[in-house]
Amino acid sequence: MPELRQDYATKEWVIIATERAKRPHDFLKGRPEPTPLPSYDPKCPFCPGNEYMTPPETFAIRDGTLPDASGWLVRVVPNKFPALIPNGRPRRSRSGLYLRMEGIGHHEVVIESPEHDKTLALLSQSQVEGVAKAYRSRYQALNANPANELVLIFRNQGEKAGTSLIHPHSQIVATPIVPVPIRRVLYEAERHYDAMGRCVFCDILEHELDCGERIVCENQHFVAFVPYAARVPFEVHILPRYHQASFGEFPDEQISDFAAILKLVLCKLYFGLKNPDYNFAIITAPHYSQGDPHFHWHLKILPRLTTTAGFEIGSGMYINVSLPEENAKFLRECEVPQE
Amino acid sequence: MPELRQDYATKEWVIIATERAKRPHDFLKGRPEPTPLPSYDPKCPFCPGNEYMTPPETFAIRDGTLPDASGWLVRVVPNKFPALIPNGRPRRSRSGLYLRMEGIGHHEVVIESPEHDKTLALLSQSQVEGVAKAYRSRYQALNANPANELVLIFRNQGEKAGTSLIHPHSQIVATPIVPVPIRRVLYEAERHYDAMGRCVFCDILEHELDCGERIVCENQHFVAFVPYAARVPFEVHILPRYHQASFGEFPDEQISDFAAILKLVLCKLYFGLKNPDYNFAIITAPHYSQGDPHFHWHLKILPRLTTTAGFEIGSGMYINVSLPEENAKFLRECEVPQE
């Protein structure tokens, strides 16, 4: 019997299609072993020596080298083909019946490593910590500007996930509005807080830790689990264990735990499912909701093992062809090589 | 300068990324000419002679032949691997903190033609009318059951759009709940009606017909246009010209106009953009909102020329790398061979 499950935070229903359900190993069928890439590509704008090919950097981890020179570990630069550009505060205007505004905001690229061929999962713990520091530093800088209502950090791994450049990188977009679907999550979280006096994500976390069957891994400050109403196979959410509305509140001493859990989950996907394409995004409180008692930032990883089709596009509702509990068990038990 | 545009019906903002904008012809680069397929595949469950490979049909257009025998023009059958199954009304229950319900509903497949190789765009006008009749007949039957809160008709063309079977077909899913994103559209439409006393889609249609620059084609009963805040390149909406909340209200005498405009838009995509993968879905009033003065059914076609990535997945907001007005002009001027 198929089943519908409601996401406790967003109130969205997801169909868990047991009649067409795939076992974790079914997703491995026909998937090739990951193939090595060259560790340097002279034409790649993100490779060392090609710093002149990008706009001037906004952040870097360097050992005494000059900005925009070689000799960095992590580097953040404005996107050369930005979706939004910085230029004060956007003005709204009418176009006939419709509302429009200038495309003001920021669009940056986090170059995660000087090495062309290393995906984020395979970087060293200290390198992933460098990436986490870049995320936090740029988040804080962009979020300080009130024209940036939301700062979204995300990553596209592989062609099916929409990436065009191989060199490991993530992106940060600061938008001049709060997107409607994010507003909805905030609104539902606020309703829950009104009723229960608790953060809905804190409640979910407590429940998941109690019941344990969807937990993937955890450390002192973070927990990773497959959500009860996962939208796609092997969806994983990473949440700070203690309430934090915004990614900006994330203190120094938690960086290494954040890097460790992110690396571990990505490694479990890489080794367990043979390097699947995936997207991840950090969903955090908007500029005007920093410190909210009812929101809780989280990182959502959505592997692209299946294709969203007309049903999802038409209804906005998902059909998941796998069981969240089975996916979690598979990932929990998946061992990864030690560094 | 990039631009944000607000969808007048859903209130969602879309980024029109002019800095990375592609001209209509850019989407054609490297696309192969469509290749012919065999017109019959003895292993295909949807090919004539293989009717025994599907569950018994729920609808067919036949010229005196027996149900589930060969000799049909259009055939509707339950999906062999259904996402939802019919079994009365679903019961809700708790699973710890969470709400779940039985996966009750319907999942049917509309086999659009006996020919294995003909995509919907290339079927004859009378064959597309047959498909439209199948949609309407099954919509009316499924919608009559109050356990089916929403009936969604959709089509996946090509691998990128999530189809696994080549034989031309569409699908119908009846869900026991109204998906949250559809509720939101209804809610915004209701707010507009409260304020203006008019259907927001009627207002959009009137405005689009007045200004003309986003119109793709029109006939007596239907209009096709690229929406002002199109989410993806070459998105096209088809609306009945006069107010109709539900696909079920769609009268007999409009079937040929509906088939004609759907065929024409799909042909423009097929010939103009070399058979792109696409999804379409018919968004219609839920069971309990039939005849609503504020909703207006529409068919949305979303070509899969680009890949939604972490930004869209994280924020629910879209970045469109093309200009809706340019896309509309390209499609409007694209000539298609006459039957």
Distance from CA of A257 to the nearest CA of B (A): 22
Query: What is the reported pLDDT for B296?
Result: 97
Q: How many residues does chain A have?
A: 339
Distance from CA of A287 to the nearest CA of B (A): 15
Question: Residue B261 — pLDDT band, cuts 50, 70, 90?
Answer: very high
Residues of B with a known catalytic role: 169
Query: What is the reported pLDDT for B188?
Result: 96
Q: Does A26 touch chain B (CB under 8 A)?
A: no
Q: Taking residues B231-247, what's their average pLDDT?
A: 97
Distance from CA of B253 to the nearest CA of A (A): 26
Q: What is the average pLDDT score of chain B? A: 95
Q: Does B241 touch chain A (CB under 8 A)?
A: no
Interface of A with B in 86-105 (CB under 8 A): 87, 90, 95-103
Is-catalytic flag, A287? no
Question: Residue B18 — pLDDT band, cuts 50, 70, 90?
Answer: confident
Query: What is the reported pLDDT for B24?
Result: 86
**Other CB atoms closer than 10 Å to residue B228's CB: what's the count?**
25
Query: What is the reported pLDDT for B325?
Result: 96
Find the CB nearest B181 among A98, A103, A315: A315
Q: Does A30 touch chain B (CB under 8 A)?
A: no
CA distance A22 to A16: 11
Question: Residue B38 — pLDDT band, cuts 50, 70, 90?
Answer: confident
Annotated active-site residue in A107, A169, A221, A294 = A169
Query: What is the reported pLDDT for B164?
Result: 80
B20 pLDDT higher than 80: no
Q: Does A282 touch chain B (CB under 8 A)?
A: yes
* B300: chain A residues, CB-CB within 8 Å: 313-314
Q: Does B228 touch chain A (CB under 8 A)?
A: yes
Residue whose pair of structure tokens reads 């055939």 in the numeric block: B75
Q: Does B30 touch chain A (CB under 8 A)?
A: no
Distance from CA of B115 to the nearest CA of A (A): 22
* B4 with A177: Cβ contact below 8 A: yes
pLDDT in tens, A277-323: 999 999 999 999 998 999 999 999 999 999 999 999 999 999 999 99
Interface of B with A in 102-131 (CB under 8 A): 102-103
B25 pLDDT higher than 90: no
Q: What ipTM, to 2 d.p.?
A: 0.94
B19 pLDDT higher than 80: no
Q: How many Cβ contacts (< 8 angstroms) between chains A and B?
A: 252
- In chain A, which stretches have pLDDT less than 70? 339
Distance from CA of A278 to the nearest CA of B (A): 8
| HEC readout, chain B | CCEEEECCCCCCEEEECHHHCCCHHHHHCCCCCCCCCCCCCCCCCCCCCCHHHCCCCCEEEECCCCCCCCCEEEEEEECCCCCCECCCCCCEEEECCEEEEECECEEEEEECCCCCCCCHHHCCHHHHHHHHHHHHHHHHHHHCCCCCCEEEEEEEECHHHCCCCCCCEEEEEEECCCCHHHHHHHHHHHHHHHHHCCCHHHHHHHHHHHHCCCEEEECCCEEEECCCCCCCCCCEEEEECCCCCCHHHCCHHHHHHHHHHHHHHHHHHHHHCCCCCEEEEEECCCHHHCCCCCCCCEEEEEECCCCCCHHHHHHCCEEECCCHHHHHHHHHHCCCCCC
CA distance B77 to B47: 13
pLDDT in tens, B279-337: 999 999 999 999 899 999 999 999 999 999 999 999 999 999 999 999 999 999 999 99
CA distance A161 to A277: 6
Q: Which two tokens stand for residue B143?
A: 């919608």
Query: What is the reported pLDDT for A21?
Result: 75
Q: Which residue on chain B is closest to A18 by alpha carbon?
A: B83
Q: Does A316 touch chain B (CB under 8 A)?
A: yes
B34 pLDDT higher than 80: no
Q: Taking residues B25-52, what's their average pLDDT?
A: 88
Q: Which of A5, A10, A15 to mutate to test the interface with B (most CBs of B within 10 A)?
A: A15
Asked: is B3-333 a CATH 3.30.428.10 domain? The reply is: yes
Q: Where are the domains of chain A?
A: 3-333
Query: What is the reported pLDDT for B321?
Result: 94
B54 pLDDT higher than 90: yes
